[in-house]
Amino acid sequence: MSLKVLYDGQGKQGNSAPEIEFSIVAIHGLNPSGEANHGYSTWTKGDHIWLRDSLPESLPTCRTMLYIYDSRVLGRTKERFAHEASQLLEAISAERDECPRRPLFFIGHSLGGILIKQALVNGQANPKHQDILSATFALIFMGTPHQGPSDSSRILFGKTCAEIVRSVQGDASDDMMQAVEKNSIFSDTLKENWRHQQKNYQFISCHETIDPIVPYDSAILGLGGDQETILRRRTDHGDVCRFDLEDETDQEDFKTLLSNIKRLYKKATNAGEGSRGQDFSHSKAVLTSLSDLLDSLRAFGDNPRYAIIEQNCDDTLQWVWLKKDRGGPGLVEWFGSDDGLFWISGKPGAGKSTFCKFIECHNNTTDLLQSTSPGRTLLTSFYFWDLGQPSERTFSGLLHNLLLQLLDHIPELVPAAIIHFQKLKGHNSHSSTRSSIWSETELQTVFKNILQAKVPDTTVLCIIDGLDECDERSFHTMLQFLLKLATATSNSNLKFKILCSGRPANFIDITFTSYPCLTLQNYTWSDIENYLNARIQTVTDYLPPDARRSRIIAEIVEGVIGKAEGVFMWARVVAEDLVALIAAGCEEELYAKIKELPPELEHLYDSIISKIPLQTRHQTYNYLQLQAFSPGDDGPRNLLGMTLASHSPNEVRGPPSDADWWSPEKKIVECHRMRRILQNSCRGLINLPHYNPSWTEDEQINLFCCGEVNVHKSIKDYLFGSRAEKQNERVWSGVAKNKLIPFNLQRTSFYFHLLKVDKTTRIEALPRGIWRPGDREGLMVSTFKAFLTALSCSQYDKIDLSVTWLPAVEELFKVKSSSSTEVGDFYDAVCANSYIEFERRTGDPAIEAWNTDLLCLAVKYGQIPYLEAKLRQIPHLRKGRPLLHYLFLGIDGISYETFEPIVKFLHRRGFRFNKVFNGRTTWEYILIWLQAWPMNESWERDFYDKILVLCLDLGADPNQKVIFPTHQCSALHVVLAKHQLSSQRQKALVKAFIMHGAATNAKDSNGCTVIQMAEQNWPQTVTLLKSGTLRPLKKQPFVSKSRNLMPKRQRPRLPQSKNRCWLK
């Protein structure tokens, strides 16, 4: 593995050129047959290597190199592929040690182009290679198959790679063929990082035309003409990167390629040093921590919403590039102004997300940013989506995602973030697959440090869509944060320009009133006209010319444009009806159709639903409810999931049978049936995957059965928003109420069905937010926890499901398991993370068997009716953890409304907080969780103070000794630690402890008194505490200073169930 210099850039005689101005590195593709000279023969036609024999004549100051490596291994694993990409970076770094800022071009043939992309992605995570990323200007792909964002593109990509293997080796090995065809070796190359990174480069994409192995759609990136040049090679796949200048066709193709390389060469050398590679160095400690830092952000900043936003139609949105004096919205002028924020407002369905995606992807955006900003530029984006996964609905998700993008592209910011990250890890070793180590407060602190960091002049454009879809608890904080980014950078070389969008909202309008604003629906009238004409033309092109029909259509289009009032989604829904009437030759009916169409989007939904037969309209409600309230992260995300969710709850709750095994044929048949039902009952209100009869069985499963199903946010607002009650009276009156399934019963039934079906079907239908490969918890455990969560939420529907569904769980597991011990291990696994987390925090000895059963889980998930029925049958004196413990496992998510009724019920049944288990009382467990849990800002939100007072009222010891691994303290010390609780509520909490007999002169093992801690953290309570010091103490609180009084025992391993397939 090495770089071989074909031409050193110093002229034919070695001294005719004064200086090397840029470098080209060419990388060959797959070599499964192990041809010794493959690195050279890839570029050779006859005896002619154009990179060595022809290119230097026109570009004498260009240094040309070949990367030679063993490409037989590329088809094995993605890890090997990523390693090879890193080796490429190392080889280039060694050659460019003295000239790290010299412009760099890459040329890749076939799968060698994918290796280039992988190398650039790897370089993002390694600061030592930032100079390569900064210097890379252009990428030339010659017959390279690119993986697109859709499932169909992935299938095409895998099959194309397999064809490439066959083309270079007639009988490829089975393991290699499976690796490339299943797309396993390139699975990480075109994820979020590459999507953002590709904006930094110029591209030339060459595609073959003779017996093409790589289809045209796969050989291009699909970028704008200002960023990607597409060249046609009149040759096959093997010769797409070779030129014989004796051949006239090759001469013409080479001339075209050369002229484009020259153009990019001039652009690169004129770009200026200010926007090119900056010096960057870190300590060894920083380098070793960087990967952990980025991983901690990446896991909770995922934003897949971008991939499913529709592209703008051809010839639309071009008005945005007009200057204001020519009718434009002022966006062009904003780039050069001092305003740090531009606000895009629009009605529901106006196309705000599509608009933001258009701005992000268009080359004009990058050009405007660079031409109006000194120094470097960076484009970042985030798309809120309240129907998406948790990271897409919260301010925390925005902070994670934005910080990750900044650290990926601006290496000078890494030290400030790493210092905070290391402190955070030192103070808090919490590591969960379900919650981030970063809180919103900590992330905002990092941003504050970043704004003060010394960096070269850098302008960051942040495109943030869907502000109104941010979780309401942090909505106002998010707006203030954006304002700070837009305005608090006057003294920093790091400047932010915020381009954000959302629905009109009073608070947003007031907050952004001083900034330029674009009201989207005022500008999209011509876009709607272009879309309607293009959509109708897809039908009329196949009809004979008819002047009368053309006149009618022109009048109808004008009427639709007027009624749409700039709402693109309204026009799109209506266009489908118009196209159907035109195709059927019913032009006369178009006038009646346009008259009956209401102008408001919600009235349009009324019109659509009112035409659905009353006897099946309950299905419409049930299916739309399931999608609107249960988005893809915790509900049916695809057609197979909707098929499982559509089964009757009574049918699902039945005993397991052979019908629970879903063969591929059954999935395809059932999904076709489900699609027809959804089409008939939802009439275009729900987005469904398309079907291609030419697909193979695997493609039908992956692209059709597992195809995305979703609804627009406006559907959710229409059905369940603030004005939904009146609308429901209009469209749902007459529907049999007993046929409307409560939402949480739908979810409970869906997850129970997932527990019953085979493992493959479970993986294919499971919501993306419930379980992912690599999660610490097993697939079955994650599914069961989702079932229990849905069951616990049924109280909001004012129905109890536990007395019917939990016995069904018992029967199901009896059939699936081989013994009661196996079932017990499974129940233990449901709580294992909480057990382990607590024992790790406290240093307690591990318990080999926790004796968890369904009764314990009923406590954890608040199922009182089931508990009442069970506790009549069994005594409460049971082995293992006390039942009250299960109410506090993962206490960060508990609410007072859940806590109060169940704790009172258990107290009536004889369960007490002062019972000892594993050396601690239940009350001590509660106090430790509240002290140690990193997300302690939820004290105020989740009423932990009320929980503590209730425990005291029910007999908890106010002078409880709390033992931590490093110190001991009293219960009042825990209450007076730092947490986010209002001073008024904190004083009330302290007063409750005093009234119950808490010792206000207690000391911890370090000698700190309760009053001293209050003076540090809660000075408002000091007077109250001093007034309670005369209360007599029953005993001296603490004398021991031992670090840990708990007995030492050997920690056993967790229960293992490797051979029990039903747990997987």
pLDDT band at 879 (very low <50, low <70, confident <90, very high): low
pLDDT > 80? residue 395: yes
Computed over every residue of the chain, the mean pLDDT equals 79
pLDDT band at 848 (very low <50, low <70, confident <90, very high): low
- DSSP secondary-structure letter at 169? S
- Bridge pairing between strands 494-502 and 2-7: unpaired
Amino acid 185: pLDDT: 47
How much is the average pLDDT of 513-518?
89
Strand partners, 502: 345
Four-way CATH pick for 2-273: 3.40.50.1820, 3.30.300.170, 3.90.79.10, 3.40.50.720: 3.40.50.1820
Of the ranges 485-494, 603-612, 686-695, which is most confident? 686-695
In angstroms, the first-to-last Cα distance of the chain is 41
Report how far residue 37's alpha carbon sits from residue 68's, in angstroms, rounded to the nearest whole number: 9
Looking at CATH, the fold of the domain delimited by 285-520 is given as: Rossmann fold (3.40.50)
Q: Which of 193, 465, 517, 205 is nearest to 339 (CA)?
A: 517
pLDDT > 60? residue 16: no
Question: What's at 329, amino acid-wise?
Answer: P
Query: Six-digit token pair at 297?
Result: 């952000």
104: three-class secondary structure by DSSP: strand
pLDDT > 70? residue 32: no
pLDDT in tens, 637-661: 889 999 999 999 999 998 888 888 9
The proportion of the chain whose per-residue pLDDT surpasses 70, expressed as a percent, equals 78
421: enclosing H helix or E strand:
helix 414-427
Picking from 724-738, 743-757, 941-955, 975-989, which range would have the lowest pLDDT averaged per residue?
724-738
Long-range contacts of 1010-1016 (CB under 8 A, 24+ apart): 1010/970, 1010/972, 1010/973, 1010/976, 1013/973, 1013/976, 1013/977, 1014/976, 1014/990
168 or 1016: whose pLDDT is higher? Answer: 1016
Cβ(81)–Cβ(118) under 8 Å?
A: yes
pLDDT > 90? residue 203: yes
Cβ(364)–Cβ(226) under 8 Å?
A: yes
Picking from 151-165, 399-413, 527-541, 688-702, which range would have the lowest pLDDT averaged per residue?
151-165
419 or 653: whose pLDDT is higher? Answer: 653
Residue-wise over 406-436: b if at least 16 C-beta within 10 A, else e? bbbbbbbbbbbbbebbeebbeeeebeeebbb
967: three-class secondary structure by DSSP: coil
Amino acid 337: pLDDT: 92
How much is the average pLDDT of 260-271?
80
530 CB contacts (<8 Å, ≥6 apart)?
313, 314, 315, 316
809 or 832: whose pLDDT is higher? Answer: 809
pLDDT in tens, 773-825: 655 667 888 888 889 888 888 766 677 788 899 999 989 988 888 777 778 78
Amino acid 318: pLDDT: 92
How much is the average pLDDT of 9-38?
74
Cβ(478)–Cβ(470) under 8 Å?
A: yes
Amino acid 1050: pLDDT: 38
Cβ(649)–Cβ(745) under 8 Å?
A: yes
pLDDT in tens, 931-990: 665 444 455 555 778 888 999 999 999 999 998 888 899 999 988 987 767 888 889 999
pLDDT > 60? residue 153: no
At residue 137, what are phi and psi to the nearest 5 degrees?
A: -110, -40
Report how far residue 329's alpha carbon sits from residue 308's, in angstroms, rounded to the nearest whole number: 27
Residue-wise over 453-489: b if at least 16 C-beta within 10 A, else e? bebeebbbbbbbbbbbbbeeebbeebbebbbbbbeeb
At residue 62, what are phi and psi to the nearest 5 degrees?
A: -105, 125
Residue-wise over 701-717: b if at least 16 C-beta within 10 A, else e? bbbbbbbebbbbbbbbb
Cβ(52)–Cβ(64) under 8 Å?
A: yes
Amino acid 116: pLDDT: 92
The total of other beta-carbon atoms located within 10 Å of residue 723's CB is: 10
